[in-house]
Structure 1
Amino acid sequence: MAALSDKLADAYQNARPRYPIDWFTKLAARTGQHKLAWDVGTGNGQAAIGVSMFLHLLPKLAEYFEKVVATDINEAQLKRAVKHERISYHHTPTTMSEDQMVALVGGDNSVDLIVAAQAVHYFDLAPFYNITKRVLRKEGGLIAVWVYNDLVISPEVDAIMKRLVDSTFPFRTPIMNLAFDGYKTLPFPFEGVKGMGCEGKPITLDIPHKLSLKGFIGFLRSWQPAMKAKERGVELVTEDLINRFEEAWGDDDDVKDIFYKAHMIVGKLSASDIERHRKRFESNCVVTKLKDSNNSAVIASVTAAAFAGVAAYCAYSARKNA
């Protein structure tokens, strides 16, 4: 994802919705334990806050996620992350190795829930899925990814927005098309969870939000397709376009009830994934035992040699004195 300036990062935070708490309720109900969650690509922490606030908002749950690790490559976003005692935020540059990421998150077989909200289409999927399959708890762990790719505001505003969306087509990357397609073509190598989507068949959900005209314009200017077009010398969010949106909006001070259209897929490790992890774990144990065994053999050899040297010296001294 392109790094945002401080100004655009502020606009991004103000325009983006908070995810409905019932999403996290349902996800928590499906996980086997509630010790650790990982919000990857956290941005300004919207999903992380949703994951971490079960204790305060949902007292009827028997167990809660005790800790949330929230990571992102974008430092400007992390500066604006909402602080919470259960969340630890970490900047994760692309130079980090797979082993470093695994250790940072919590280690192999440690994470109960992984969330990638409006983010996974920006990832290098192969290494991300490798890390995910290592850290995800083998029994009862879940990974949930979602994207929102459309706004429903009013017939007048929606018609102008559709023309703007169509104008972004020449500037979209394959990554962006994953989002525009609502993750229908997203590779997702996990076993589907009943009623919560699967590879090729995400579920569609609404995200209610209140949005002012100023917030909407901020959304447009921090919108990735518009930013990509601007990088190529084309300004899609022109003053003329903004004027048309203002006319369609009505009262500038009117805060509208809108909906973002979201698409979600939830998965878990397959039996074959779990078996591969078991073999990998056993293999590592064997290597560790061999190393320990070799180290013990070396120590024993050195110790024996030392004692032999001392004995020889004592024998030499005895003969010399005699």
Structure 2
Amino acid sequence: MAGLFDKHAETYLQARPSYPSEWYSMLAARTSHHSLAWDVGTGNGQAAVGVAGHYEQVIATDVSEAQLSFAMPHPRVRYVHTPQSMTEDEMVALMGGENRVDLITVATAVHWFDLPKFYKLAKRLLRKPGGILAVWAYNDMVVNPEFNTVSRRLWEASMQFWHADAKYVIDGYRNLPFPFESVGLGHEGKPTQLEIRKELLFEGYLKFLKSSSPFNLAKEQGVDLLSEEVIEELESSWGGANLVRTVTYKAFMLAGTVIE
């Protein structure tokens, strides 16, 4: 999916919500050390920068060079392009060896991964005991009853264009394999439910849609889900282009440690 997100890297940066600082605090409180963190599928680096507030060094990796070109600089974050051709041993070497990583984070990306391969690598890299893997995402936006009804119809129309791997997001990670021992933030089959709040103009909401994979895939197949008529209906139910709304993203998280 890297190529798809390459084309919309700048829009993705502008449209996506920031993750609450409390999330990083609660994860840091559960790791025994705070030396090294790995943010996988970092994109523009927003999670990496949040993690850097609690760890001495963060290595932030992505297969997309375009996404990394918009990454947010931070003195404790090192951004690294990791093409899919990299071997498991090369990834271990990049992290400085096995059993060295205190926290691995994957923000709205793990559903794109080869899960058995990634989990095997994570288990090699995590500090034992005390290292934690945390994955999270979001799958819905709540604004107001009228707008929610209109936007729900739009998302239902987009379902046929969701990539097969995105089923985990649609299901709120409830069906995501997660072979790690719970640290009190969800467990396999039952993620912790969270919320993200963001102030948005209607233009920001449109950018969010345009950065979403099903809308991009539909457009590539010649289907315009965001016709002028649809946009007008959305804007009217929003309350007008100049109205700032508080948007609530429905999020979910799984965090765990290696089962000994």
> What's the TM-score once normalised by structure 2's chain length?
0.96
The aligned residue for residue 153 of structure 1 is 143
Q: CA deviation at 1:212?
A: 1.3
Is 1:228 the equivalent of 2:217?
yes
The aligned residue for residue 169 of structure 1 is 159
SS of 1:116's partner is strand
SS of 2:29's partner is helix
Change (3 A) 1:256 1:7: farther
The aligned residue for residue 268 of structure 1 is 257
User: For 1:61-80, what aligned pairs fall within 5 Å after superposition?
Assistant: 65-80=55-70
The aligned residue for residue 11 of structure 1 is 11
Change (3 A) 1:7 1:212: farther
Provide the alpha-carbon RMSD of the alignment. 1.4
Aligned length: 260
The aligned residue for residue 142 of structure 1 is 132
Is 1:208 the equivalent of 2:197?
yes
Summarize deviations over 1:26-73 as a string: whole Å, max 9, x none.
Answer: 11111010000000001101101110124xxxxxxxxxx100000011
* Structure with the larger helix share: 1
* Structure with the larger strand share: 2
Measure the CA separation in 1 of the matches of 2:126 and 2:137.
21
Name the amino acid aligned to 2:223.
V
Measure the CA separation in 1 of the matches of 2:32 and 2:231.
48
The aligned residue for residue 51 of structure 2 is 51
Measure the CA separation in 1 of the matches of 2:153 and 2:216.
17
Change (3 A) 1:124 1:211: same
8 Å CA contact retained: 1:15, 1:211: no
2:98 corresponds to which of 91, 99, 108: 108
Change (3 A) 1:5 1:101: closer
Change (3 A) 1:93 1:220: same
The aligned residue for residue 286 of structure 1 is none
Measure the CA separation in 1 of the matches of 2:65 and 2:27.
28
8 Å CA contact retained: 1:106, 1:135: no
Name the amino acid aligned to 1:224.
S
* Segment of structure 1 superposing worse, 208-217 or 231-240: 231-240
Aligned-residue identity in percent? 51
Is 1:29 the equivalent of 2:29?
yes
Summarize deviations over 1:238-277 as a string: whole Å, max 9, x none.
Answer: 2221111111122312221111110100010001xxxxxx
Measure the CA separation in 1 of the matches of 2:174 and 2:27.
21
8 Å CA contact retained: 2:2, 2:63: no
Change (3 A) 1:153 1:132: same
Measure the CA separation in 2 of the matches of 1:169 and 1:239.
20
Name the amino acid aligned to 1:131.
L
SS of 2:8's partner is helix
SS of 2:206's partner is helix
Measure the CA separation in 1 of the matches of 2:63 and 2:106.
13
Structure 2: segments with no counterpart, 5+ residues: none
